[in-house]
Structure 1
């Protein structure tokens, strides 16, 4: 009897410990691959990856998005990066808070060295704002960006403003009028921020036209803007995605518990990696 009880507790302990060991191994593999990519590209690699996750005790899906914690971690990673070292940001996100996305975007835009954003699958809303702040965008051929029109609660700001055109002001309640005022300010703020980011790398008029296009609410908020459409808009990008990026994404499954969405090697770099000397044969 004692022997079977011991087997039961050993099985219980092993079952409880196995997920932790698997997660630790996955984190180790991520770190090793990030380090390998940094050495290859002589850059600081930062990941900003959001996946739908499930709480292990209930199995309820929880959507992740760009939040203040993400912006704090990304800004810290940028501060730990020397001015002359390039930054590579791997981006996979449905978007999130405008404040957090703008903080990340402007911090990347101010970094003196080259900033490259890799989008292996999608970067919507605030993710698009961050991608457009980069010096270079690398997309998978099937990857998409999205509109950056602001949302007020469950409603798009542009849709709230459309009520003012559809009804006389006497027929609109005070709450809707207040929402319309906030919506107008939000759209102007996002358009101005995007225009400021785009002006750093293109003609002012083109930057203004693109900022208006992406923020005016022309499409639904989840409208996928693919590579063909981006090319027609005059947005420059490459599609030669490094194989290491795909391998890294495979190490971000949708696990049972929460995990950090921003990951990087957490110590300052004093200088870029030296190229290894070739040995003569």
Structure 2
């Protein structure tokens, strides 16, 4: 075989390698989902947004909660009997409010127990979805986030502050229009949070949580820890199944030439150190 033929074979193998790797990942995910469903006797749904290299040239695809996600989750819920619990593994920076509200509403209407697992973070719309759960299971270091609306690049609550701090005569028409939209957006999101929580924790506690999360008390990227979530009154536990961590490992970030974090991927304990010293 000549050199040109070898180069063609090398090119074909190189082009198929990402596809084969992706298929292996997908099969591994399905097997692990089946194991988790058998262990929990539930319907397991995964909503994980990470960067994955999907194309031949290796360009990463950044994902957020969108209408496609809400359609897929709603289909999964409809395919689940009313007496079957639902477990949702959630890892997301947030996304479209409409899609997050649809998912949260559908989960809240499910008669059986709904559990949301947050192994790392569920911000913004992800937190809104978590509020629909009967139980939120978080890693001890995982975080949630405020659900206050954002209008473009501006927090709705901050736009309203302009009306408080400047005379109307000094505010342009566009800002006044944005302030009107901001007021409506906050009122709508706050009402959604109250609706998700009131029947479980009472109207007064639901009102308090909605005010804290939806009205700009914190910045939009503020990390709400397990302790703070419990202090708010959310049903949070830290009993995270080990299979959830294994599942997260099958949703890798985009490969980089130099990893940002490196460590020896083995359990580390005093006992292992003693055994190494004896060798």
Taking structure 1 as the reference length, the TM-score comes to 0.88
The separation in 2 between residues aligned to 1:241 and 1:201, in whole angstroms, is: 23
The corresponding residue for 1:239 is 238
Q: Do structure 1's residue 20 and structure 2's residue 37 form an aligned pair?
A: no
2:28 is aligned to: 29
Q: CA deviation at 1:62?
A: 4.6
Q: Tell me how far 1:18 sits from its aligned partner.
A: 1.1
Q: Across the two proteins, how many residue pairs are aligned to each other? A: 255
Structure-2 change in CA distance of 1:156 and 1:61 (3 Å)? farther
Which residue of 1 is the match for residue 227 of structure 2? 228
Structure 1 match to 2:251: 252
Structure 2: distance between partners of 1:233 and 1:105: 19
Q: CA deviation at 1:234?
A: 2.0
Cα shift at 1:64: 1.5
DSSP-derived class of the 1:118 partner: strand
Shift of 1:200: 2.3
TM-score for the superposition, normalised by structure 2: 0.88
Q: 1:69 to 1:21 in 2, by over 3 A?
A: same
**Correspondence for 1:277:** none
The two structures, once aligned, show a CA RMSD in angstroms of 1.4
Which segment is superposed worse, 122-131 or 234-243?
234-243
Post-superposition, which runs of at least 4 consecutive aligned residues in structure 1 deviate over 4 A?
Answer: 53-62
5+ residue gaps in structure 2? 256-279
1:1-281 residue pairs with structure 2 within 5 A?
2-53=1-52, 56=55, 62-255=61-254
Name stretches of at least 5 consecutive residues in structure 1 with no aligned partner: 257-281
CA deviation profile, 1:168-226 (whole Å, cap 9, x unmatched): 00100000000000000000000000000011211110111111111010111000000
> Which one has more relative contact order, counting CA pairs under 8 Å at least 6 apart?
1
* d(CA) in 1 for partners of 2:125, 2:172: 31
Give the 3-state SS of the residue equivalent to 1:201 in structure 2: helix
